[in-house]
Structure 1
Amino acid sequence: MEKRNVLLCVSGGIAVFKSAALTSKLVQANYNVKVVMTKSACEFVTPLTFQALSRDYVYTNTFEELERDKIAHIDVADWADVVVVAPATANVIGKLANGIADDMLTTTLLATTVPVYIAPAMNVHMYEHPAVKKNMDTLHAYGYQFIEPNEGYLACGYVGKGRMAEPDDILSVVQRHFTKLENKSWQGKKILVTAGPTQEKIDPVRFYSNRSSGKMGYAIAEEAAERGAEVILITGPTNIKPPHGVTTIPVESASDMYDAVTKHFEGQDIVIKAAAVADYRPKTTFDHKVKKQSGDLTVEMERTLDILKTLGEQRTNQILVGFAAESENIETYAKNKLNNKNLDMIAANSIISPGTGFQSDTNELLLYKRDGQTVHIPMTTKKEAAKKLLDNTLEIYMEKQK
């Protein structure tokens, strides 16, 4: 991929310190970075800091023209491949929504014709104010894209939504933007991914579950979104932050996951079932904590609905990919599942080999395809395994389109 130009527009808020970190991360990721700052932003962090991090001049004054044959705000607007406004204060959002250009930053924003990503940062009450919401809706309608702020402790002392997205998250958005341009074959594809375990309630404090961390499913969803697909991630309880650009639907039980998956199944191009759904659930549940008694306790279990088999029976044109986490006879069990559940491909792995089981950051997969092909993905990170799995899934999809 050729080196791309990122214009970072920094307005005045306490989150400016995060923008300095973002500048460094963008440069380290091999982007050319130019920075435009408002006068208020300079009160928090000096232009010299951004100059040192970006290794380029920092623009702060509309009337300071460094080159006689160029108009600075037009030149820098034309230079950019993408613009990121971070932090975006309520003031800047309001100006942009109403076409006001009274400083270097706002004149540049109105002059650019490339995609603009806005990362709001402000007090929770400001973020929820009707005027601010109206301005954001206006910018949405104009085609601007927003990077949602996080919830948490704010500099003003309040706790709520308004914290600027973390630099790593904004970097991911930028990377995903350019990856979409390079991966046109994924643009517009609708993909549903399931991830994580399910929890089957016994009583208010106990449940039946498994060791799945959700890392593999999340890696697949994130990679698919970075390639430009429209991704729905249906996830059981995990400790993983949902990927940016992915519609995340949290569920708890196998029944919840069944309802969510079947609800969104129609209209998908590709479905990848990476979740470790409980095969059994307690036949009887209790509204109050079951107290300890003398002697043993027996919990009678009943089968849960087989989500993957149901999808295999209901599928029309969807590509359907399953997972088989096994401790023995991996090939036999995986191929039986491939055939019995009417799948296009199944990804099998050992749950007892070092580095490939639940909760690990790495994986080794064997992909068994309906046409008889077998693809080995050697031990690698789950992120890299997700890339190779998606490459093979796209091959199957493209073959079916012929």
Structure 2
Amino acid sequence: MTFDQAVGYLANRITFSPRKDPARLRALLAEVGSPQDRLPCVHIAGTNGKGSVTTMTAAILQAAGYTVGAYLSPYVFSLGERWQVNGLPLSEEALARHVTELAPFVERISAGELGAITEFELKTAIAFKHFAEVGVDFAVIEVGIGGTYDSTNIIPPPLAAAITSIGFDHMALLGNTLGEIAAQKAGILKHGTRACITPVTDPEALAAIQQKATSEGVPLTLVRGDELPGGITLALRGPHQRVNASTATLLARTLELPESAIRAGLESATLPGRFQLCLGGRLILDGAHNEDGAQTLVAALTEEFPGEKFVFVIGSKQTHSPAPFLAELAPLAAAVIATEPSFKPTPAREVVAAAQRLGLPVTHQVPVAAAIEAALQRTERVVVTGSFYVVGETPVRYLAR
């Protein structure tokens, strides 16, 4: 296959197929030697922040001299971002090769009693196959959704794990209370894991995590907020990133990594679409897409630009309601421009309706590039948010720092 054919093959897999055992993915991976069983892993779950903690932890391990794979979800600007080795994305040639080699097994298994291999299962198989072939020393694996039944949970007990936050997201799959959601995410904890790190403080959510940790014999370490090396300047901005960095720091100390590597990794770790400042701070890109993410974005904007209001360019994926998200942003909104990502969008009219109910000035502009162009004609700073798919459609010319 060519790269474009491989991308098309991935896109044509079904997005989601409920299954509460890993037999389907395990069968696929068995065809290439079950690479997931040979990888020393660190496993990261959580509602928000897991991509940042994955990236920070991988950067610390790399700074300590190791070859490190990182599996991230979703990508922002290029598909290869999902599979990284020492911070470098998977090449188009390598992705095409992996899909070509796995496709015959995918077809055979999908035609059988186990059912069709999903898009995420295939992407997860690519991660384990690629990391094993490269011979990484560590693989830092970000959960897709939840934990217990996530495809990434096929790994043996990880060396260490983290649960970065618990909030209301994917409730149809994970449950309607914070305790239920936390219990699903805590499903990554397995007997033999050295420690689980979490900054979660909600009593119901924390109790669910503690219950699972106790049942598996996994020590639970709570983030206090004083773990960072003194005088450190993080590459990723915002108060929430200090919490994420503290989580990554405790993971690194669990792995007995040197303090010098912790500092170097945290000062170098970057991730697109996470409070990313472009055009000298005139444009801010943030993939927040749920209420907790919106609250975090508001805190970061308030700290970075106190007293300012912003033009929000907002678009949502069809699985997310824009109304509660926009309600959190409303106090900082000078205006809203509703837009739509090209992939599975919520209609922009729903964003318009939500903004109108909140009494916010709102216009409608599609595609995303046109919405950003219109927003930049105003004097206020512009925040592009609501979905990583919206952020990913920001024109390249605007990405300069």
Same fold (TM over 0.5): no
Structure with greater contact order relative to length (CA < 8 Å, sep ≥ 6): 2
TM-score by length of 1: 0.28
TM-score by length of 2: 0.28
- State the structure with more CA Rg: 1
Structure number with higher helix proportion: 2
Structure number with higher strand proportion: 1
